[in-house]
Amino acid sequence: MIQSAVDRVVDDYLRAVATACADLPVNLRDELLGDLREHITAQRGDNPSEADIRTILHRLGEPTAIAAEARVGLTPRPLPALPVPTGPARAGISAWTVIGIVAVVVISVAFFLAMFAGLFLAVQATPVPR
């Protein structure tokens, strides 16, 4: 069966309503879509043009507005719980960071010891004037 342009417009509209109503309970969403399809069918007549169908859909309203109206009076669904971490708590500093800090400290101490030793030897090697 080849779908006419009029049928495509209606199907696109109903698909947009279904998408806008994705958070509604399935039975309520299906009932709403069935009611809309029935209303459109009753209003369209025998041989509607695409402009006639667009007028009918315009009078029904934007899909998001229809979805908002369908939500009125519904109890909001609770938000899903956040996942609870199951692994061990991570420290703020990684092992590689600690290794890097220790390496810098060891190299710095070695440098300053070598520099101090060099100065000490240089002072002892300097002859004292008599």
Q: Within a domain: residue 101?
A: yes
Same domain for 67 and 100, yes or no, is: no
Q: Per-residue DSSP letters for 31-45?
A: HHHHHHHHHHHHHH-
Q: Which amino acid belongs to residue 99?
A: I
Same domain for 100 and 66, yes or no, is: no
Give me the residue label for tokens 């960071």: 97
**Domain range holding 49?**
5-71
Q: Within a domain: residue 86?
A: no
Q: Within a domain: residue 33?
A: yes
CA distance 24 to 108: 66
End-to-end CA distance of the chain: 120
Asked if 19 contacts 63 with a C-beta cutoff of 8 angstroms, the reply is yes
pLDDT (0 to 100) of residue 73? 77
Chain segment 44-101, per-residue pLDDT in tens? 888 888 999 999 999 999 999 999 998 887 776 666 777 776 766 665 677 888 899 9
Asked if 24 contacts 74 with a C-beta cutoff of 8 angstroms, the reply is yes
Q: Within a domain: residue 88?
A: no
pLDDT (0 to 100) of residue 127? 66
